[in-house]
Amino acid sequence: MTLPTMEQGFAIRVRGQVQGVGFRPFVWRLARAAGLRGDVLNDAEGVLIRLVAQDCGDFIAALRADGPPLARIDAIEAVPQVFAAMPEGFSIAASAGTGAETRVTPDAATCPECRAEIFAPGRRQGYAFTNCTHCGPRYTILRELPYDRARTTMAGFDLCPDCAAEYADPADRRFHAQPIACPACGPNLWYEAGGKEVAGDPVALAVAALKAGQVVAVKGLGGFHLACDAANARAVALLRARKRRPSKPFALMGTEAMIRAHATPSEACWRLLRDPAAPVVLVPARGTLPEDVAPGMRALGVMLPYTPLHHLLITAFGGMLVMTSGNLSGAPQVTGNDEARKALARFADGFLMHNREIARRLDDGVERAEPPMVIRRARGRVPGTLPLPPGFDAAPRVLAFGGQMKAAICLTKNGQAMVSQHLGDLDDAETALEYDRTLRDLAALFDHVPELAACDPHPGYRATVTAEGAGPPLIRVWHHHAHLASCLGDNLWPLDGGTVAGIVMDGLGLGPDGTIWGGELLLGDYTGFERLAHLAPAPLPGGDRASREPWRNALARLDQAGLSAVADRLFPDAPRDLLRQAVGAGVNAPRSSSAGRLFDAFAALAGFAGAQSYEGEAAMRLEAMARPAAPYPFDCRDGIIDPAPMFRAAAADLAAGRDRGDMAGAFHVGLARAFCAPARALVQGGRARAVALSGGVLQNAFLLRECLAALDGLPVLLHRQIPANDGGLAFGQALVAAAQHMAAAKSL
């Protein structure tokens, strides 16, 4: 009996975002070029390569250096292995096993090859669903894992012979591209108006409607957009009136040339705009578009076309389009065709539709390039995972429920964290239902059975109520501790990295003392914190109404500063006496150290009148008008940062007729220095190893730059991939819960 020949080689495990991105054909080409024998396959843990070789160092180096555009390698593990009778050549083997131990790839913007293809003669010319392994839909069409066509919303589209041949050829960029399609076998477009389909070229019909000043609902990757001509003031005003969105800035879409015509992006902005995630990027405006596109703002939120349909539509239209979420303000984005016909009929004059279903709702992401910051984590970033910091290797599986505003959830598993897409504010009933659906969806999709749950302690948060009924042992994480931990985790701060000084500025969050916090200097790490300084608390007259009506906060702060007469002059028609009586009696006037409400107060002093039509409007307008100026004074004693001197100085400037932009700048600079001075002292005194900046207020680029200037020379931790706002709370909650659980287990 002849024994099989035994050959020395390696089993190489590649973990990360390596499925559905063309990684196996990349390995196939690499191995064949090197004359190596073996095979490559997908399995539940990622990609497995079996290689006959005496050494694999150069091969692994090439894997890391030359991978496909959408691949993200977390780890490569090579184990020596002896093979019996390995066939000649190198092959792609059938997938093995099931499960969810590897990443799901986010949706990716159209690659250059596919973009060229839709504008060139050929069978995909003008085809709105062209894609390959380097681009196209992933997460928004996925129903369940493992990721193959039968488990996506492409399952009902049988491949034609030409597409089948591309799909089966490892040398083709469409090898195993699950959304592969062409006009002969894939989804199709049509245009509807007046409740029925209109004959003709759907894109041309949509363009004609847009040029006529109409609003068109456009079905995209993760939902519908409402589109109109961004250069047509009447069309923009019409969309605002219909959507009941009086002043919140609209997102815009255009080609690079169009963006250059209306904005001045830096090179960092261009890199972010061209990223496969294709987010909305905040860039300086030229002032060439109607003011109603982004009222009171110096920046525009712009994005490049990220699907073939968008490329065809923008090119045919020939100008910048408003592309805002297809929903009533505050409600979730519409995804289904029938849903769109019912929900968007009052907004849209026509519908550019298609018959590829959207498996899950995803808004456009919003990001800033300088300094880099994710403001809304959504399409293109989700469901990408982030590594947990060093020291969390033994962390339990955690499900963190986030907060009430900008809701998102976080799942941790196998040393990775997956922060969900932005879901919205849970005060909205439809958003709350979407939140519940997402909890079920992600648990099933990622095969996630939590050992631990984490939530905010606020008893009124819907996320907290949901967490309390979830089942696993529950750890409640204080709001601002979660903000601090999310910044630490975003920077991979080690579990044993020591304490940091955390400047946390946001709107509202419950503190351990039962009051509402929001302007804090903390000293802490993942396991705990101390509150060392904070804004002097002020009442919130009218409770929740103070968050919507900035003059209420101005009244409270001016009264505290001994400037009641100034408040009387500024707000002559407001019910001041009634509110003062309520504050004096402690009726519906909780005290808060909120930096967000301080911004509202100063914005009202500087001329912002009326109620806010969206969260943060007054603060955003204040930032937009601010110019560099000498700081207003704050009184900092015994851990209390008192803005009363600042208001007295500002009131004097107001009476003297000082420019409001200078006043806004002096406020920003003064606030930054008031918080950064004690934070610097903590680092220089050896009590803290770095300064972390977190909270939604610190999305303000002017304030953030002033903080960085005041902290020059110190190690400073900033948010980059996780939102500084409440969209990052779940990530921080998960880290705190895991750290506290591991610390408790270690102490036993």
pLDDT (mean) for 694-721: 98
Do 87 and 202 lie in one domain? The reply is no
- Binning pLDDT at 50, 70 and 90, where does residue 733 land? very high
Question: According to the model, what pLDDT value does residue 328 have?
Answer: 77
Q: What is the pLDDT of residues 583-597, one digit of tens each?
A: 999 999 999 999 999
Q: How is 431-457 classified by DSSP, letter by letter?
A: HHHHHHHHHHHHHHHTT---SEEEE-S
pLDDT at 150 over 80: yes
pLDDT (mean) for 213-224: 97
Q: Would you call the peptide bond into 371 cis, given omega within 30 degrees of 0 as the criterion?
A: yes
Do 79 and 200 lie in one domain? The reply is no
Question: According to the model, what pLDDT value does residue 94 have?
Answer: 80
209 within a domain of the structure (yes/no): yes
The CATH number that applies at residue 614 is 3.30.420.40
277 within a domain of the structure (yes/no): yes
Do 215 and 351 lie in one domain? The reply is yes
Q: How many residues does the chain have?
A: 748
Q: What is the pLDDT of residues 357-379, one digit of tens each?
A: 999 999 999 999 998 999 999 99
- Binning pLDDT at 50, 70 and 90, where does residue 44 land? confident
pLDDT at 98 over 60: no
Residue ending a domain, choose from 62, 92, 122: 92
415 within a domain of the structure (yes/no): no
Do 570 and 701 lie in one domain? The reply is yes
Do 575 and 698 lie in one domain? The reply is yes
Residue ending a domain, choose from 57, 92, 127: 92
The CATH number that applies at residue 41 is 3.30.70.100
The region, left, alpha or beta by phi > 0 then psi within -120 to 50, assigned to residue 630 is: beta
15 within a domain of the structure (yes/no): yes
- Binning pLDDT at 50, 70 and 90, where does residue 1 land? very low
**What are the backbone dihedrals phi and psi of residue 118, each rounded to the nearest 5 degrees, phi first?**
-75, -15
Do 198 and 342 lie in one domain? The reply is yes
Residue ending a domain, choose from 337, 367, 397: 367
Question: According to the model, what pLDDT value does residue 99 have?
Answer: 54
Q: What is the pLDDT of residues 458-475, one digit of tens each?
A: 999 999 999 999 999 999
102 within a domain of the structure (yes/no): no
What DSSP character marks residue 570?
Answer: H
Question: According to the model, what pLDDT value does residue 97 have?
Answer: 63
- Compute how many other C-beta atoms are within 10 angstroms of the C-beta atom of residue 649: 19
Q: For residue 8, give the H/E element and its range.
A: strand 6-17
Do 201 and 85 lie in one domain? The reply is no
Do 565 and 709 lie in one domain? The reply is yes
List b or e across 280-290, with b for residues whose CB sees 16 or more CB atoms inside 10 angstroms: bbbbebeeebb
pLDDT (mean) for 641-669: 98
C-alpha 54/C-alpha 149 separation (Å) is 37
- The overall average pLDDT reported for the chain is 94
- Compute how many other C-beta atoms are within 10 angstroms of the C-beta atom of residue 584: 10
Nearest to 224 by CA among 325, 128, 356: 325
42 classed as catalytic? yes
Q: What is the pLDDT of residues 249-290, one digit of tens each?
A: 999 999 999 999 999 999 999 999 999 999 999 999 999 999
Q: Are 727 and 406 in contact (CB under 8 A)?
A: yes
pLDDT (mean) for 597-611: 95
Terminal Cα-to-Cα distance of the chain (whole angstroms): 59
416 within a domain of the structure (yes/no): no
- Quote the percentage of the chain above a pLDDT of 70: 98
Q: Which of 47-56, 199-208, 548-557 has the lowest mean pLDDT?
A: 47-56
Which residue in 15, 37, 42, 149 is the catalytic one?
Answer: 42
Q: Which of 59-73, 84-98, 531-545 has the lowest mean pLDDT?
A: 84-98
The residue among 532 and 96 whose pLDDT is bigger is 532
Domain count, the chain: 3
The residue among 223 and 20 whose pLDDT is bigger is 223
C-alpha 518/C-alpha 499 separation (Å) is 20
361 within a domain of the structure (yes/no): yes
Task: Name the residue range of residue 35's domain.
Answer: 6-92
Question: According to the model, what pLDDT value does residue 618 have?
Answer: 97
- Binning pLDDT at 50, 70 and 90, where does residue 43 land? confident
683 within a domain of the structure (yes/no): yes
Question: According to the model, what pLDDT value does residue 104 have?
Answer: 82
